[in-house]
Amino acid sequence: MDDLVILTVLYLSARATGRPRPWEIWTGQYAGVGLLVLVSAAAAAGLSVVPDRWVGLLGLVPLTLGIRGLLRHGEVQTPIATGLLAIMGVTIANGADNISVYTPLFRTIGVSRSLVSIAVFAVGVAAWCLAGSWLGSHRRVIAVVRRYGHWIVPAVFVLIGAIIILESW
C-alpha cells in the first residue's frame, strides 16, 4: 500500500511538472523490485540448510514491523523522486523490509512456487504502476490513501508475519 501511495505521488508530480517521466517510474519500479527479489532469493537459498520450522521464525520480523507500525501514529511519508535511479532507490528503500517477507516465503514454498510468485510480482508491479497513474489523476483518492495507509500497511505486515510463522509449523 505504501508503494501505491509513492507511485501516486510520482504520477501527480509527472503530470504537474513533466518529471519523472512515466517510463522512469515503470523502469525504476521493476529494477528496484527485481533487486529486492534477487537479494531475497539468494538469502532464501542460503537458508536451505536451516530447518523450515526455524525459518518460519523470520516471520517475526514483518510481524514486529507491523505491530510497531500499528502502535505509531505518524503519517506515511512519500518522497518525490525525479529520475530513474532516484525512483529505483525509493523503491528499494521503501521495499527493503519486504526482504524479511520474501526470504522466508521463497525458502518455505520451494523453487517452482517461488518462480510463480516472482511472475505474480511482475504482474503486480504493472498493476501498481497503472493504479498509481490512475490515482495520480484523482486528488480525493490520494487523500484517502494518505489518511488510512498508515493503518493498512502495518496490518498487512502483521498478517504476513503470522502466516509465515503458522505455515512453517
pLDDT digits (tens, 9 = 90+) for 89-100: 878 777 777 888
Of 26, 15, 13, the C-alpha closest to 125 is: 26
Cell numbers at residue 21, please? 517521466
Helix and strand element counts for the chain (H, E): 7, 0
Q: 164 burial class (0-12, 13-18, 19+ CB within 10 angstroms)?
A: buried
Mean pLDDT confidence for 142-159: 69
The runs of H, that is alpha helices, within 56-138 are 60-71, 84-95, 99-135
CB 158 within 8 A of CB 70: yes
Q: List all residues 6 or more positions away from 60 whose beta carbon is below 8 Å from its beta carbon.
A: 161, 165
105 — pLDDT class (breaks 50, 70, 90): confident
- Categorize the per-residue pLDDT at 74 as very low, low, confident or very high, splitting at 50, 70 and 90: low
Residue 79 has pLDDT above 50, yes or no: no
DSSP 50: S
Q: Of 48 and 154, which is predicted with more confidence?
A: 154
Domain that holds residue 69: 2-168
**Number of domains making up the chain:** 1
Q: Which is more confident, 27 or 46?
A: 27
Is the per-residue pLDDT at 88 higher than 50?
Answer: yes
* Out of 27-31, 68-72, 116-120, least confident range: 68-72
